[in-house]
């Protein structure tokens, strides 16, 4: 760390310009996260009895409709800057969707200032489920997703996922007091428990309309710190991200890890290099599938025995732990929303049969033994401090070296074999906020150009 700070100070005149130095405003944001408010939100969501997807939405004080109306009212009360709406979809009966139903995501948008087109989505799902009801109170024909007799069964769903929604709402409250360069979107998704429906429709619509979502942070089961067997884990949170090794999602996971270390000392954001828990999925999944960087936050101490039952209650959770996860989210989201856009490190192959393909702007140089990196930044940030080249071995999980290179668009690493390392570049502003890393990657197995007869 000391060497990296020294290099940046040498280049720009002060170590404060290096991204490793905390931004005081983001430190203040992190300090404003309230575990008491998170606890109150978790209790309120529990009080609706169930937030089942097929409960009567017109009920007062109970069910999915009452919950969504309350969430919307809370969003609206946080700040006049928030643009709050229902994102509604009419979904047909299919698979785990037992009948035609209206699914409603609750969305609060904090518009950005200088880069409003770039969006950062922070989400969690507010629907809940009681699978055990099919055994104890149903007719035995399937679970609560396919059994009309069990749709009103108690499903408090506090760990899964009132805790995640409470984190999202607390972030909306704190972050909406400020303005950021990029747009922040806070979403309480519906339909996660019946096939990630609300998030899938949201992500597909964004892709269809070419909405540039820079990052998606999904909070799902972030309120427990004691597992079924009594094992306590309150010092870190798992951050899941999909393959390959340098996917956009994996790059985001590394970013979250670094910002957590900078702004939430004593609590780790621990990347898990897997798309989700084994054989399972969450609302970040459709974002990754649609080409966006997306990660999932989940406690390493899941209480699997109470999930999807009437036992998933507030007394089994830890708001203090959820608040730490919220701080990690706040650090990553505020840093990214304040940071320059990532440099472009690919060029399009514009001629011949490969037109439309992109190649990394990385070469061996005239010497054939150097690494020559080029990048583009057509609209550099007004407060740009410079660019940082990052390096790691191909088998290392995290970046091992950082080199501040100034306000340039090309840099040569003499004697570096581009076959044996992974290289990237990021932009840093004068407050130390860093963009995501743009990684120089190639398609390891390009499509064959010759068809067998």
102 and 169 inside one domain? yes
pLDDT for residue 143: 46
pLDDT for residue 132: 77
**Residue 390 located in a structural domain:** yes
Domain boundary (338, 368, 390) is at 338
**Residue 452 located in a structural domain:** no
DSSP string, 378-410: SS--TTEEEEEEEEEETT-SS--EEEEEES-SE
350 and 334 inside one domain? no
199 and 303 inside one domain? yes
Domain boundary (338, 360, 393) is at 338
> What secondary structure letter does DSSP report for 448?
P
Domain that holds residue 78: 32-338
pLDDT for residue 358: 76
Q: What are phi and psi of 249, to 5 degrees?
A: -65, -40
211 and 99 inside one domain? yes
List the beta strands (DSSP E) in 255-409.
268-272, 294-298, 346-348, 358-360, 362-363, 371-374, 384-393, 401-406
Residues 6+ apart with CB under 8 A from 130: 50, 52, 144, 150, 153, 154, 155, 308, 309, 310
233 and 256 inside one domain? yes
- Number of domains observed in the structure of the chain: 2
**Residue 101 located in a structural domain:** yes
* β-strands 236-240, 294-298 pairing: antiparallel
- Given a contact cutoff of 8 angstroms between Cβ atoms, the answer to whether 159 and 308 are in contact is no
**Residue 19 located in a structural domain:** no
360 and 417 inside one domain? yes
pLDDT for residue 355: 67
**Residue 3 located in a structural domain:** no
Residues 6+ apart with CB under 8 A from 166: 37, 38, 39, 41, 42, 45, 124, 223, 319, 322
Q: Tell me, what CATH number does 186's domain have? A: 3.40.630.10
304 and 198 inside one domain? yes
392 and 295 inside one domain? no
- Given a contact cutoff of 8 angstroms between Cβ atoms, the answer to whether 25 and 312 are in contact is no
241 and 152 inside one domain? yes
**Residue 451 located in a structural domain:** no
- Given a contact cutoff of 8 angstroms between Cβ atoms, the answer to whether 39 and 316 are in contact is no
pLDDT for residue 350: 66
- 369: closest CA among 423, 415, 411? 415
Q: Tell me, what CATH number does 363's domain have? A: 2.60.40.10
DSSP string, 48-112: TSB--TTS-TT-SSSHHHHHHHHHHHHHHHH-TT-EEEEEEEEE--BTTB-S-EEEEEEEEEE--
How far apart, in whole angstroms, are the C-alpha atoms of residue 241 and residue 269? 12
Q: How far apart are the first and last CA of the chain?
A: 57
Cα 4–Cα 5–Cα 7 angle in degrees, nearest 5: 65
190 and 322 inside one domain? yes
How far apart, in whole angstroms, are the C-alpha atoms of residue 121 and residue 265? 24
**Residue 240 located in a structural domain:** yes
Dump pLDDT digits (tens) for 235-256. Answer: 999 999 999 999 999 999 999 9
315 and 433 inside one domain? no
**Residue 27 located in a structural domain:** no
pLDDT for residue 104: 98
Domain boundary (338, 360, 387) is at 338
Q: Residues in the chain with pLDDT < 70?
A: 1-20, 133-149, 348, 350-356, 443-453
150 and 234 inside one domain? yes
How far apart, in whole angstroms, are the C-alpha atoms of residue 381 and residue 427? 9
């Amino acid at each position: 760390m000391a060497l990296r700070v020294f290099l940046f100070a040498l280049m720009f005149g002060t170590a404060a310009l290096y991204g490793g130095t905390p931004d005081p405003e983001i430190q203040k944001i992190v300090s404003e996260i309230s575990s008491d408010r998170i606890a109150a939100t978790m209790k309120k969501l529990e009080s609706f009895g169930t937030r089942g997807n097929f409960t009567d939405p017109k009920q007062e004080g109970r069910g999915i409709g009452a919950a969504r109306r309350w969430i919307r009212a809370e969003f609206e009360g946080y700040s006049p800057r928030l643009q709050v709406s229902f994102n509604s979809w009419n979904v047909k009966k299919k698979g785990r969707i037992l009948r035609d139903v209206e699914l409603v995501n609750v969305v609060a948008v904090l518009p950005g200032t200088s880069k409003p087109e770039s969006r950062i989505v922070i989400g969690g799902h507010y629907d809940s489920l009681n699978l055990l009801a099919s055994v104890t109170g149903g007719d035995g024909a399937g679970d609560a997703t396919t059994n009309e007799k069990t749709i009103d069964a108690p499903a408090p769903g506090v760990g899964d996922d009132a805790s995640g929604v409470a984190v999202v709402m607390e972030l909306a409250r704190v972050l909406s007091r400020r303005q950021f360069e990029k747009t922040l979107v806070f979403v309480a998704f519906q339909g996660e428990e019946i096939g990630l429906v609300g998030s899938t429709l949201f992500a597909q619509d964004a892709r269809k309309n070419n909405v540039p979502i820079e990052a998606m942070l999904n909070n799902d089961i972030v309120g427990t710190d004691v597992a079924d067997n009594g094992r306590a884990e309150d010092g870190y949170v798992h951050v899941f991200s999909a393959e390959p090794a340098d996917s956009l999602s994996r790059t985001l996971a590394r970013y979250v890890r670094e910002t957590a270390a900078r702004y939430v000392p004593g609590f780790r954001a621990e990347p898990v290099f897997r798309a989700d828990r084994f054989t399972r999925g969450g609302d970040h999944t459709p974002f990754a599938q649609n080409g966006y960087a997306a990660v999932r936050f989940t406690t390493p101490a899941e209480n699997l025995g109470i999930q999807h039952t009437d036992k998933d209650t507030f007394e089994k959770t830890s708001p203090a732990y959820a608040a730490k996860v919220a701080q990690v989210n706040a650090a990553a989201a505020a840093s990214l929303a304040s940071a320059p856009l990532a440099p472009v490190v690919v060029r399009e192959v514009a001629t011949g049969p490969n037109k439309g393909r992109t190649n990394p702007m990385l070469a061996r140089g005239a010497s054939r033994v150097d690494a020559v990196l080029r990048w583009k930044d057509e609209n550099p940030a007004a407060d740009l401090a410079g660019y940082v080249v990052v390096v790691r071995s191909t088998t290392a999980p995290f970046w091992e070296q950082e080199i501040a290179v100034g306000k340039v668009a090309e840099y040569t690493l003499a004697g570096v074999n581009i076959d044996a390392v992974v290289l990237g570049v990021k932009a840093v502003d004068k407050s130390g906020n860093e963009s995501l890393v743009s990684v120089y990657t190639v398609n390891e197995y390009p499509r064959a150009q010759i068809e067998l007869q």
